[in-house]
A and B are shown apart, each in its own frame.
Chain A
Amino acid sequence: MTTTLERGRPAAAPASGPGGGGVPLGRVVAWAAAVAVPLLFLGVFFAWPVAAIVGRGFVTDGTLDLGGFADVLSRPRTWRIVGQTLTQATLGTLGAVLLGLPGAYLLHRCTFRGRGALRAFVTVPFVLPTVVVGVAFRSLLVEGGLLGGLGLDGTRTAIVLALVFFNYAVVVRTVGGLWERLDPRAEQAARSLGASPWRAFRTVTLPALAPAIASAASLTFLFCATAFGTVLVLGGRQFGTVETEIWVQTTQFLDLRAAAVLSVLQLVVVVTALALAGRARARTERALALTEPVDAAHPVRLRDPLDAVAVTVTAVTAVGLLALPLVNLVVRSLRTPDGWGLGNYARLAQPADVLRVSALDATVTSLRVALDATVLALVVGGLVALVVSRRPRRPAGRRAVAGLDALFMLPLGVSAVTVGFGFLVSMDRPLGLPLDLRTSGVLVPVAQAVVAVPLVVRTVLPVLRAIDPRLREAAATLGAAPGRVLRTVDLAVAVRSLGLALGFAFAASLGEFGATSFLARPEDPTLPVVIFRLLGRPGVDNYGTALAASVLLAALTAGIVAVCERLRSPGVGSSW
């Protein structure tokens, strides 16, 4: 099966989908809809609000005023902030990729007892509200804390560690999703021909994984570059980034002019990063021989040097970086004024103090909102992934597809404050319709979906793109109609990465970062909001309940991710 390596250059792939000549009308309409629906969604709930608020910053008394550029760009502080943004995001991305690759291998390529639990566990940090991560991390790092001797509190190292903590799962899941389907025989062949394990990995496996690594790195970079709470809570404003500066200028000073310039600056950074990642992906993407995950996985062999390295790195990361803060959180949640006990957990069922809802009520709200957001994200993200996975024959078509891909990544790279405040100035009459969405609560799942769509695309796309085009041709030759080809080939493969995407989207929504924190909320608060409110009130009971609620959020996430993982067991997948 070494033929895998030399066949299937993207450009040589036969066209299907838009761009193919002489296509029947029905197909054109179907593809047009597949492009139009996501574009409309992104346009209404992202591009328009962002343009509305940035536009306000550039208009003074009805005329265009670009003077803000000269003003903001001439401040030395601006460039220091841009430099810090790039430095911290790059370090965070490097750390997450370097630690995440062995993790992806171990968790998606090897089998061992407790693998499912470990997979679910590593996703937990991804959803924790930053105020909770602040407690979990900082109480370890402050003077007198368990790791207080390291002197890391309020340093850049602490920020970078927390960024890796958050994004480790992004790399593991994005890379692991492709890795587990990679046919192992190519690497086995290389090794039987005498290549050392390391050489076989470097020359065979790593190039095959490159597109997924580029995907993961670009996602992580965007998350790190727009990290807001993490930077402020762990480092403070001396490590401020473009994102934190936009927050200050918009929410505290209402200096929309400065905020608009910074938003444009942020957009430039993000688009550059996306272009670089896109180029890296395009250079490395190819059709791969994919298999069922079960065929590819093997039991861990500690005598194999690759396995040994993966086990060591992952164990150190999982225990030292991920488990330590989380265990700290659990331990603290069990401490009550009367000693150790479950008192804080008992309070989860009661309406906390005067907050009117209990943590359990809030959990139900969270799940409902997350379900809405996940369905939206899967439909929109699925359509985008499908369209972007096509390889039109004409260069213009290919460029359009690449552009569409990058476009849907933008929500991760644009400030949540900009989007949130954008909603405020645009959603009172969306599309001229007389319904005020701003305080309706509808925008909460929508805003979460906008952020979850890129996660879905990045998870499903590497798998879709790796489908050998000849599989589709064969199906067509055998007389399958285009719709049937799509169903039996693309969908059948994609659905198996759907569990991964589903878990990801759900987690992203449960953790509800992004623009939702700037929306005016109707009265049913979600779990992260209740945690935030509890931590804003004095009293040991409130503190303890907030910690118990955080543990509940973590457990809930782990549970849901674990269930989603099961969805893609071959038994379910093969029914398609």
Chain B
Amino acid sequence: MTPRTRTGARTLALAGAAALALSACSAVGGGADDASDEPGGSAGAAVGTVTLVTHESFALSEGLLEQFEEESGLTVEVVQQADAGALANQLVLTKDAPLGDVVYGLDNTFATRALDEGVVVPADVTAPAAEDAAAYAVEGDDEGALTAVDYSDVCMNVDTTWFAAHGIPEPTTLESLLDPAYRDLVVVPDPVTSSPGLAFLLATVGAFGEDGWTGYWERLRDNGLKVADGWSEAYYTDFTAGGGDGPRPVVLSYASSPPFTVPEGGTEPTTRALLDTCFRQVEYAGVLAGAANPEGAAQLIDFLLSDEVQADLPTSMYVYPVSSAVELPEEWTRWAPLAEDPFEVPAADIDAHREEWLTQWSDTVVG
């Protein structure tokens, strides 16, 4: 069960809202709140509360956060927000009155904005894995306001069973997707509304340069590209091997997706990531400027870099740990290799051109 950590604050807030609005709310709300009342629940929180602001994909295996709370004496409150891009912008918007103490889940496409806007401040991170994390530091972040926690490769995935059954060789590179043999076979999420979609746009910018990438998309479009709204729509509805039996055998997903397509009783996944089509997404954590509990926030970042959490990341969030001290699950080493040489675009360039590129992309592909 989820820890009941904010009973006091919530009761107070409820009472306030009720006073503002109507007594009726407190009658119902109060009743509902009783269920989460655990006498003395907040009495042990001597060191205080630390509030983690993160995106909707945040998850850790049962017991990890609880163990951290027990060892540190801190109470962790997690607030989640639907969308990774929106998360960064919400933090910018609320920087004068921050939503919490620490953020996890800002990625390299939004990192520079967060740094430039002063959303995060340098923290004293002492975990041994911090050295590994430094290899992923954002260019220009000399004081270490953002600490890398994990990364993942956004790549094209293919349904190997489909290609075998149709006797068509699998595509391998970005260029090969333009082959008429792959007409009407590719689906990607919209980069404007989806963060892996944006990552793939950046892969093409990295591959074809600032002058060449729109030309690539024109030809991809002319070869019957389908654009879905988000990753879920593309993977589960349009992709042949996502579970929804869609019509297209090439989808944009992650290098870590194939292990999840090992059929029941089977020994091999039915999909494969194309490792020459990848863009690397790095996720960062940082202490929010104006945090009420900056020490607790730094402790939480140490916790995210601890061996326990780092080892848990592949199973809980499908991302690769930055720490070199932990081992990957066996099926990952076998079925989810990383790209050797993913496409790169410097974080500062991404931030400077994001809007322009997305507008150009929309003009080219959506019309």
Contact = CB atoms under 8 A, between A and B. Distances in A.
B193 interface: yes
A254 B77 contact: no
A414 interface: no
Contacts of A2: none
A57 B90 CA distance: 15
Interface in B18-77: 20-22, 24-25, 27-29, 32, 35-36, 51, 53, 56-57, 59-62, 77
Contacts of B59: 353-356, 533
B28 A236 contact: no
B236 A440 contact: no
Contacts of B24: 375-376, 379
A457 to B, nearest CB: 16
Interface stretch (A13-21, A501-509, A535-543): A535-543
Contacts of B254: 538
Interface string B1-28: 1110110011011101100111011011
A535 B82 CA distance: 12
A287 to B, nearest CB: 31
B77 A522 contact: yes
B21 to A, nearest CB: 5
Interface in B219-278: 226-233, 235-238, 242-247, 253-254, 256-257, 260-261, 263-264
Interface string B324-367: 00000000000000000000000000000011001000100011
Interface string B175-215: 00000000000000010110000000000000000000000
B136 interface: no
B80 interface: yes
Contacts of A431: 20
A310 B157 CA distance: 49
B229 A440 contact: no
A138 B233 contact: yes
A144 interface: yes
A467 B27 CA distance: 32
Given A372-B28, A520-B99, A532-B56, A424 B90 contact: yes
Nearest to A134: B233
B316 interface: yes
Interface string A48-75: 0000000000000000000000000000
Contact of A538 (B3, B28, B235, B362): B235
B246 A375 contact: no
Contacts of B16: 430, 433, 435, 437, 442
A145 to B, nearest CB: 8
A371 B28 contact: yes
A495 B123 CA distance: 59
A523 B242 CA distance: 28
Contacts of A143: 247
Contacts of B93: 254, 421, 424-425
Interface string A312-344: 000000000000000000001000011000000
B86 A518 contact: yes
Contacts, number: 228
SS class, residues of chain B in contact with chain A: mixed
A446 interface: yes
A284 interface: no
A425 B93 CA distance: 7
A544 B79 contact: no
A104 B367 CA distance: 40
17 contacts: A237-B192, A248-B192, A253-B358, A254-B92, A356-B1, A428-B94, A435-B13, A440-B13, A518-B81, A522-B78, A536-B56, A536-B57, A538-B235, A538-B242, A539-B243, A539-B260, A540-B260
Given A253-B355, A253-B358, A440-B9, 15 more contacts: A44-B21, A238-B366, A253-B354, A354-B316, A357-B2, A368-B35, A371-B32, A441-B13, A442-B17, A521-B80, A523-B79, A524-B36, A529-B56, A533-B59, A540-B261
By Cβ-Cβ distance, the 5 closest A-B pairs, closest first, are A440-B13, A251-B86, A428-B97, A337-B264, A143-B247
Interface of A: 37, 40-41, 44-45, 131, 134-135, 138-139, 142-144, 148, 154, 229, 232-233, 236-238, 248, 250-255, 332, 337-338, 351, 353-357, 361, 368-369, 371-372, 375-376, 379-380, 421, 424-425, 428-431, 433, 435-442, 445-446, 517-525, 529, 532-533, 535-540, 543-544
Interface of B: 1-3, 5-6, 9-10, 12-14, 16-17, 20-22, 24-25, 27-29, 32, 35-36, 51, 53, 56-57, 59-62, 77-83, 85-86, 89-90, 92-94, 97, 99-100, 190, 192-193, 226-233, 235-238, 242-247, 253-254, 256-257, 260-261, 263-264, 315-316, 318, 354-355, 358, 362, 366-367
